[in-house]
Amino acid sequence: MPSRRDDAFVLTRYPFRERDFVVVLLTRGSGLVRVVARRARTVRSSWASATEPLAQVRVSYFERLGSELATLDEAQLIRSAFNLAADPPAWAAGQVVAELALLYCPPGQRVEPSFRLMERCLTCLFGGHDAAAVAWYAELWFLRLAGVFPELDRCGVCGVELPQGQRTFDPVEKRFVCGHHRPGRAAARISAAGVRWLQLASKLPLEMVSEGAPEDVGAWLVALREGFTERQVRSWRYLRHLLELG
């Protein structure tokens, strides 16, 4: 029964049996891993903060043959999620990023770029970066890493370079198109401001993306993600609510 050591982010946890948690980790070396934290729900558990969602930890765990669940052996806290909890929009944006990682990362498969994306998003949130910018950047980049983000600056049919300004998207073929290849059926339109945001966020590090996506681009990113993953991200509802208050 070999033990693995790895760096990880806690994506979520849920009660398991009487006194345990199942903790879902995004590890650097093995992607998504589900571990049982024994007795973590008891009052004196030393694992309480290290199994808190959005915590960054160094773990060792045992895998058992034929079991989807590994057993957590050690969890050392590298960065507690505690400070984020004091900033509700940052906390909610962190939850959106964690939920996206859960959707996109396959169990047991190394996905270092996704791990780095998560790391960058959380580091920015801890540094006080705009919460909406972080959440939308994560929406965009998980799509890009999954290879389902369409070519933005060229027509998906003929390859001609598209001019600056608004763009036409064919939602059936999932490609941007030039004026000649506009589909007869309903096409989606992305505003010039939306196109600019997509271009900047595709090119720049998150630290330099100071705003969330314009509304039309946000709706378009969500439709693209839902088409691909067939899932909703429930944490968005809470984040949106907080952003509207802000």
Q: Which residues bind Zn ion (CB under 5 A)?
A: 155, 157-158, 178, 181
Least distance CB 182 / Zn ion (angstroms):
9
Closest residue by beta carbon to Zn ion: 155
Name the residue nearer to Zn ion (CB basis): 178 or 201: 178
Name the residue nearer to Zn ion (CB basis): 158 or 192: 158
Least distance CB 150 / Zn ion (angstroms):
13
Rounded CA gap, 207 and 212, in Å?
A: 12
Name the residue nearer to Zn ion (CB basis): 2 or 159: 159
Least distance CB 219 / Zn ion (angstroms):
24
Least distance CB 154 / Zn ion (angstroms):
8
Name the residue nearer to Zn ion (CB basis): 103 or 187: 187
Least distance CB 55 / Zn ion (angstroms):
48
Name the residue nearer to Zn ion (CB basis): 162 or 201: 162
Least distance CB 220 / Zn ion (angstroms):
20
Spatial CA neighbour of 16 closest among 67, 80, 92, 90 = 67
Name the residue nearer to Zn ion (CB basis): 13 or 167: 167
Spatial CA neighbour of 225 closest among 108, 135, 162 = 135
